[in-house]
Structure 1
Amino acid sequence: MLNYNKTLPDGAPGWVVSEDQFSSLALAKCEAVMSLGNGYMGLRSATEESYVGEKRNLFVNGTFNRFDELEVSELPNAADLTKLDIRIDGKRFTLEQGEVKAYSRSLNLRDAELVRTFIWNNGEGKELEFTFRRFVSLDSLHVIGLKMEVKVLRGPVNLSVSSGIDAQVSNSGSQHFHEGEKRIYDKTYLELIQTTTESKVDFAIGASHRLKVDGQLVEVAPAMEIDRRIVAVGYSLRLEEGQSLTFEKVATVYTSRDKEFGDNYSLPAMREVALAALKTAQESGYDALFSSHTAAWAKVWENYGITIESSNPFDLLGVRFAHYHLVVMTPAHDNRMGIGAKGLSGEGYKGHSFWDTEIFILPFYIYSNPEIARSLLEYRYLGLEGARNKAKENGFAGAMYPWEAAWPSDGEVTPVWGAVDIVTGEQTKIWSGFIEQHITSDIAYAVWHYFRSTGDTDFMEKYGYEIIFDTAIFWASRLEWNEALGRYEINEVVGPDEYKEHVDNNAFTNYMAHFNIELAMDYYQELEAQSPELFARYDELLNLKEAHKVWESKLNLIYLPQPNEDLIIPQDDTYLQKEIIDLTPYKDQEKVGSIFNDYNLDQVGNLQVSKQADIMMLFFLLENKFSPEVKRANYQYYEEKTLHDSSLSLSTHSILASDFGDKELAYRLFHRATEIDLGPKVHSSDAGIHSASLGGIWECAVMGFAGVRMLDGKLHLAPKLPEHWDRLSFPLYWQGKRLEVNITPQEISITNVTGGSIQLIVHGKQQEVHESATFANTSTL
């Protein structure tokens, strides 16, 4: 369905994702995969003309709202700015009629522009060439640019275009806005003011248009329309054969949650700012705005640029695609906002943040842009309010982070009910919000990972220590004493393998809770000895001395499942006693979750089958705690039982396969990860792209094939490139320094751009880099 072999107009390869044939029955794939954004807002790439089944989504980060008290908070779908009602000789234009030639819709990853071109014959002797362009500005976060160019190849034609701001949209039926106020200034500047129903977030959306015929500005008196939830203008003109129309639209989006308005927000002031910005954008025009936008993206690629020389060009495209979406989904501008599991590309998971951010996305920013990594962790610090409330509501102490997070103070926002049970016909209860609790230690781990990699003591003193201490207080209160066995357990949980609910002693959960408490004890001792004033502050806030007594009494009694005689660590108390079945039909599946065509969740819970990496994730995060023999034995045991029904899973298994030296398997799993969104499955991305998988793709390349790890506070590098890769180059930040790493099968070159010296371990040997250094890549010699 998608073509990855096209080049940019200047001939540059590896930057274009394109669709060469239009199908109104497969709209969602390209809508999501080719979505645009800048971290402030995300725009799903529906076509300008309308089709049944389309999803027109515009999301502004952080603007969560609840439709009513029976539903959870979600990002509201803001008014649509992309739809055009185009009529040729009085008939509505659609690709479902007439003849279409030379069709192409492409996402230019380098410049972050969506371009669609084709030649259309109306079946009545008229033929027109269309080009549509669109971008969401990275230079000016509030600006969207659209352009339509129409050339009459055989005519003449009477052409009309209606365009505006259409708020007749919803989130799959849930309407999040009051109708609002509509205005048109000077027959040019369209304005819609709306307010969310529960969270009371104001939106100010503006749009304006400009028309050129054969490159010359023309004044066309518009037909103006203001109706229920819509404000629009229409333009009509006659084009002779050979003439061209250029129709430009610029739009601006502002909300009362924008940081720039601060505590002194007022709606009149925001309206004034928004209208002035719209007028400035209108004066600049599409081309000038786009030029500034491309310059901003050029800086992104300069900072994040990765090079892969592979016999399969798709490898580089896949990593660039991941980089692109990581940028467009991340709210780098505002630490009050997180990253949604579908980014800003669709309604899936309602814009909520999961452990996806800390485990799969944050490493990319820790090693590529530490400032953004810090901002994402500050979001979790701001979420301590909701985490403490959740702990209290569940009868625990400390901070118990929500499985799904929205606005920081919202607390738990996981829906209670999900898909249908195929056996009972009843709606399935979603237990994650109640008992999938490992996210609390995942966040503590992320804080530790960030600190050890960056040395950012300012972050730790202001935010990090508090997160680690309060999450450890939670785990100490969560532990359950088993008198018969003389140990503390963690029962009735969901681990990373979400096909096992209400299990006792999930190994991942227990080990990570132990890690969390042990880490808090280490930092307790460090602050007590080295920073008495800071220690006193946290002692007063969290009663640390009493908490430490509890940690000390419980830590060594926490049950940590150990390898059995076959070196297998039980995923939970009963996993290894469950029935084993042939999983072949579900391993090679067209759509994830196909096992639920034959079993319900309770039945799957009684089989040795895993949704995603569980024990394997433990080996990746806490790899120093397990021997290579144990890790390999468990990998072989659990890999064949893991369906990878979650997009989070493949990257972890790929990285571990790299560690074991299985290059072929590691690459195969990496390639499968790159195809989660870009692959041939037509409906894989209908609800939006897969954020965690995109972070995982980068992890496969840098933490897997390049072997980059932070172990015991030290930077390690142990590359094992795929056999058909001749080079892998990428930037890497470590302890405030920027390194340029270049790896071939024969050698590893490191340039210390920042200056000074840096210590690291290359293939197990301590090394020092001043300006630059080259080492033998001994793993491949």
Structure 2
Amino acid sequence: MLSYNEVQSEDLNKWSFAEVHFNPLALGKCEAIMSLGNGYMGLRSAAEESYIGEKRNLFVNGTFNKFDEFEVTELPNTADITRLDIRIDGTRFSLERGTVTQYERMLNIRDAELVRSFIWEYEGKKIRFEFRRFVSLAKLHQIGLKVSITPLNEGITLVINSGIDGQVSNSGSQHFHEGEKRIYDKTFLELIQTTTESKVDFVHGAAHRLRLNQQEIDTAPKMDIDRRKVAVSYAFDVAAGDCLEFEKMATVFTSRDREFAEGTSLDDIRQHALAELKAFHSAGYDPLFAEHQLAWSKVWEQYNVSIQSSNSFDQLAVRFAIYHLVIMTPAHDRRMGIGAKGLSGEGYKGHSFWDTEIFILPFYIYTHPEVARSLLEYRYLGLEGARAKAIENGFTGAMYPWEAAWPSDGEVTPEWGQVDIVTGKQIKIWSGFIEQHITSDVAYAVWHYYKATGDQDFMDRYGYEMIFDTAKFWASRLEWNEAKGVYEINEVVGPDEYKEHVDNNAFTNYMASFNIRLAMEYYHSLQNSNADLFQSLNGKLELEEAMNEWQSKIEQIYLPQPNQDGIIPQDDTYLQKKLIDLTPYKLQSKVGSIFDDYNLDQVGEMQVSKQADIMMLFFLLEDQFTPEVKRANYDYYEPKTLHDSSLSMSTHSILANDFGDRDLAYQLFERASQIDLGPYMYSSDAGIHSASLGGIWECVVLGFAGVRMLGGELHMNPNLPKAWDELSFPLYWQGQRLEVHINRETLTLTANSDQEVQLVIHGNPIKFSTELQIQY
């Protein structure tokens, strides 16, 4: 059970939430949503003591490994450093025995610290426990833990076993060789492991400090080295009223870390890691946590969104989303992307999807453009794998993988998924084969970033090449229909993944056309503005030949048009499929409830959508459609959309707000906010929903504040929900940081320089310097 804004610490109001009752049958929720990280690594928040059903996950970004030839690459679950075996008078401590009072496990979002406290009573003895944990944002390789144990009414004999446990796996898949274990000076623990296929070296370290009533204890532990494990045990007698503090500082380094040049020896890495561990151990938890706090204070200066709402959950939800966006994003290294579950769980194996370009990248474009550029450079490095996928499928250019891991890997989508409830067979996953809109999504993201930032250096180095090569793919992908005299795109999956093997998915066709037209535009502009670069890319990509093909095909690409009712067919057959009563599924408490009654093939023959499809097209290319067409299609498709994807509700919320349906817009925003943070205790077992978290920010800034980039211009059309009185947030545009403040009557913009800013507000072009205030 979760509690919001009612934690014991008053100064953390709207900055924290808590689990207030321990439920051993619902461990995954808090493990995921309370996870910690810094973009380099992510630590799932399993309890220190062990429970059946727990998932003890520690992932280091970019360290992908393939278990064997029959499985796809995934982020390996590296050694666990959080588990403690605590014994009180010879009994293993567990919340499943005894009596627990004053229980609270709280995630402090402001400072990124996990705090768990309670009183445990067992066989007449009462003991107060407090556990603290952080993953440092100031020092990316550092993890800190602190435990305080205080017997309240009688003394106890206490034994704590702690170490580095390499006996973990990815749901059974073991990604590491046995490795080497050492203990230096009876204090510094070291476990070295190497991934089986990708040969990434991991160097783990841990060390402990102990205090009794604030006084340092120097006691020799019992040392234990076992298979894939190194540990130490400490034993004490603790009198009633005394407080034992147990600190553990841990480090993780890998041979893929950017600070280690290619060819750096494992011995050099381990020496560096050991020196860092000794320094962290010497400093201790509190000073290192203070550095971490300072780093997070700068995060909130950079990103903070302030909402004055009658529903305090709204402010917490947006801060929760920003927190997770920060801890999942590898801002330190362009060679890595963002996983669909961030670094909070094994779901989707750490792979990157279109989630990044469409749902997460806008957050960084408008709040931290340097990070947005790094994420796009990851896709540039991925051209190697995208080109290989195109060749494998008989096409030219760059065909981006639906699921991406290490940039050079190409397609890494698993081929088989869950069971078919009708046939009992495993369902084939077609998205890696035929969900191809990801290629134009990447091109769109490049264009979006460039238009919003004006970063010409990025375009010259990376952007033009990505747009040209993705357009080459689409030109080769088009299929000529002689009878209709048009080019089609057949046998695909669009954003609505309940419709497989469809022809002419509107989203896919329109976005492919957009991609090719964009390449044609930049072909001409680059010829005129930078002839040397044009010639370089022409030699590399054969642009003149490609341009001839684009010109010959662009006007004949089939783009589904509105019928007599103004409805654009989602694909060639959607509007002919049968209608059923979707009321039970629209009111569902958990996603995918329609599959309790039908299998995927049956759902494929109904007018029902998993998520926004045509609506996503209107969101991305909104100026290509009239308001009347958009509204007619919204009214048609929204009732048929089950929002069984976490990506869906934010898009529908934004469009509902555009149409003036403020109540539905706010309702969908609330539902999106509750996917992870809400009360349903099984929604996040496999990890948080990274795209949905980006979508929450999009609802606020692109939706309720009405911020859009249209044709290279900044537009704003604020329309706050009835529950909100004020909204403030930072916004970067063309190299300037703007502070935006919106209330019921006024829009105020403040620039960080006197450079002139041009934008369009409620359809009216406006220029200003320094500050602008508009009444509306």
1:413 aligns with 2:412: yes
How far apart, in 1, do the equivalents of 2:330 and 2:281 lie? 26
Contact 1:752–1:769 at 8 Å: present in 2 too?
A: no
Paired residue for 1:52?
Answer: 52
1:364 aligns with 2:363: yes
| SS of alignment partner, residue 276 of structure 1 | helix
Shift of 1:8: 6.9
Q: CA RMSD, aligned part only?
A: 0.7
Shift of 1:436: 0.1
Deviation digits for residues 446-493 of structure 1, max 9, x if unmatched?
Answer: 000000000000000000000000000000000000000000000000
Paired residue for 1:109?
Answer: 109
Paired residue for 2:121?
Answer: 121
Matching of residues 376-415 of structure 1 within 5 Å: 376-415=375-414
Contact 1:749–1:773 at 8 Å: present in 2 too?
A: yes
Amino acid at match of 1:366: I
Contact 1:8–1:15 at 8 Å: present in 2 too?
A: no
How far apart, in 2, do the equivalents of 1:11 and 1:479 lie? 58
| SS of alignment partner, residue 246 of structure 1 | strand
Amino acid at match of 2:365: I
Matching of residues 722-741 of structure 1 within 5 Å: 722-741=721-740
1:758 aligns with 2:757: yes
Amino acid at match of 1:650: M
Paired residue for 1:564?
Answer: 563
Amino acid at match of 1:710: M
Contact 2:308–2:725 at 8 Å: present in 1 too?
A: yes
Shift of 1:589: 1.3
Contact 1:737–1:755 at 8 Å: present in 2 too?
A: no
How far apart, in 1, do the equivalents of 2:503 and 2:95 lie? 56
> What is the TM-score with the length of structure 1 in the denominator?
0.99
Contact 1:750–1:769 at 8 Å: present in 2 too?
A: no
Matching of residues 486-635 of structure 1 within 5 Å: 486-635=485-634
Shift of 1:290: 0.2
| SS of alignment partner, residue 11 of structure 1 | helix
How far apart, in 1, do the equivalents of 2:686 and 2:590 lie? 14
| SS of alignment partner, residue 400 of structure 1 | coil
Paired residue for 2:61?
Answer: 61
Shift of 1:127: 0.8
Paired residue for 2:196?
Answer: 197
How far apart, in 2, do the equivalents of 1:6 and 1:445 lie? 42
Matching of residues 660-675 of structure 1 within 5 Å: 660-675=659-674
How far apart, in 2, do the equivalents of 1:73 and 1:217 lie? 46
| SS of alignment partner, residue 738 of structure 1 | strand
> What is the TM-score with the length of structure 2 in the denominator?
1.00
How far apart, in 1, do the equivalents of 2:685 and 2:565 lie? 42
How far apart, in 2, do the equivalents of 1:265 and 1:410 lie? 23
Deviation digits for residues 149-205 of structure 1, max 9, x if unmatched?
Answer: 011101110001000000110000000000100000000000000000000000000
Shift of 1:11: 2.3
How far apart, in 2, do the equivalents of 1:421 and 1:7 lie? 43
Shift of 1:12: 3.9
Paired residue for 2:435?
Answer: 436
1:39 aligns with 2:32: no
Paired residue for 2:20?
Answer: 20
Amino acid at match of 1:79: A
Paired residue for 1:318?
Answer: 317
Shift of 1:10: 5.3
Amino acid at match of 1:105: R
Shift of 1:572: 0.1
Paired residue for 1:773?
Answer: 772
| SS of alignment partner, residue 152 of structure 2 | strand
How far apart, in 1, do the equivalents of 2:525 and 2:710 lie? 19
How far apart, in 2, do the equivalents of 1:23 and 1:724 lie? 33
Paired residue for 1:687?
Answer: 686
Shift of 1:577: 0.1
Matching of residues 116-515 of structure 1 within 5 Å: 116-122=116-122, 124-515=123-514
| SS of alignment partner, residue 476 of structure 1 | helix
Shift of 1:756: 1.2
Amino acid at match of 2:237: R
Contact 1:206–1:253 at 8 Å: present in 2 too?
A: yes
How far apart, in 1, do the equivalents of 2:470 and 2:111 lie? 42
How far apart, in 2, do the equivalents of 1:72 and 1:29 lie? 26
Aligned residues: 776
How far apart, in 2, do the equivalents of 1:386 and 1:724 lie? 47
Amino acid at match of 1:370: P
| SS of alignment partner, residue 514 of structure 1 | helix
| SS of alignment partner, residue 189 of structure 2 | strand
| SS of alignment partner, residue 603 of structure 1 | helix
Shift of 1:60: 0.1
| SS of alignment partner, residue 710 of structure 1 | strand
How far apart, in 2, do the equivalents of 1:125 and 1:625 lie? 72
Contact 1:146–1:248 at 8 Å: present in 2 too?
A: yes
Contact 2:12–2:108 at 8 Å: present in 1 too?
A: no
Shift of 1:531: 1.0
Contact 2:247–2:284 at 8 Å: present in 1 too?
A: yes
Contact 1:38–1:328 at 8 Å: present in 2 too?
A: yes
Contact 2:381–2:408 at 8 Å: present in 1 too?
A: yes
How far apart, in 2, do the equivalents of 1:588 and 1:73 lie? 37
How far apart, in 2, do the equivalents of 1:351 and 1:241 lie? 47
Amino acid at match of 2:681: V
How far apart, in 2, do the equivalents of 1:415 and 1:12 lie? 42
Greater displacement, 678-687 / 695-704: 678-687
Amino acid at match of 2:375: L
Matching of residues 696-735 of structure 1 within 5 Å: 696-735=695-734
Contact 2:7–2:18 at 8 Å: present in 1 too?
A: no
The 1:7–1:100 alpha-carbon spacing in structure 2 relative to 1, beyond 3 Å, is closer
Shift of 1:7: 4.9
Deviation digits for residues 705-748 of structure 1, max 9, x if unmatched?
Answer: 00000001000010000012000000000000000000001010
Contact 1:718–1:763 at 8 Å: present in 2 too?
A: yes
Contact 1:149–1:245 at 8 Å: present in 2 too?
A: yes
Shift of 1:148: 0.2
Amino acid at match of 2:295: A
Deviation digits for residues 673-704 of structure 1, max 9, x if unmatched?
Answer: 00000112111000000000000000000000
Contact 1:355–1:443 at 8 Å: present in 2 too?
A: yes
| SS of alignment partner, residue 345 of structure 1 | coil
| SS of alignment partner, residue 262 of structure 2 | helix
Deviation digits for residues 268-308 of structure 1, max 9, x if unmatched?
Answer: 11001100000000001000000000000000001111110
Contact 2:131–2:148 at 8 Å: present in 1 too?
A: yes
